[in-house]
């Protein structure tokens, strides 16, 4: 799998998403992320080929981002220097240190 997720694979009410152990994942799909208007937390772990984030305008609801064991993405999200930094610089709490299955918490209720 080079791209994740498919556009209508996950509910639009998702508030937290963990993406992990996808060794061939290269990018996160913009079309799918445009529906995640309630997404507050994004955790990405062990995706060694992942190189890009969705567009900044699709990540405006995020308040927490964690990237671990994703060396290419970590380098590209490096503060003020990485090519992907402008896409994630607005996120209040981000954890991109040096070096699961999909987990989702649905927004329940009205």
Range of the domain at 36: 3-106
How does pLDDT run across 3-30, given as a tens digit for each residue?
887 777 888 899 999 999 999 999 998 8
Bridge partners (DSSP) of residue 17 are 42, 104
How does pLDDT run across 80-89, given as a tens digit for each residue?
889 999 999 9
How does pLDDT run across 31-50, given as a tens digit for each residue?
888 888 899 999 999 999 99
Q: How many domains does the chain have?
A: 1
The confidence band for 97, taking pLDDT boundaries of 50, 70 and 90, is low
Give per-residue burial for 63-94: e unless 16+ CB within 10 Å, then b.
eebebbbbeebbebbeeeebebeebbeebeeb
C-alpha closest to that of 26 among 54, 44, 50, 46:
50
**Rounded (10°) CA dihedral 49, 76, 69, 15:** -100
């Amino acid at each position: 799998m080079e791209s994740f997720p498919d556009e209508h694979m996950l509910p639009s009410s998702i508030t937290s998403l963990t993406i992990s152990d996808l060794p061939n994942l290269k990018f996160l799909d913009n079309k799918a992320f445009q529906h995640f208007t309630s997404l507050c937390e994004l955790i990405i772990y062990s995706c060694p080929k992942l190189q890009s984030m969705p567009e900044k305008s699709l990540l405006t609801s995020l308040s927490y981002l964690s990237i671990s064991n994703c060396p290419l993405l970590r380098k590209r999200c490096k503060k003020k220097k990485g090519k992907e930094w402008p896409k994630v610089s607005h996120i209040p709490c981000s954890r991109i240190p040096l070096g699961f299955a999909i987990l989702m918490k649905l927004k329940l209720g009205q």
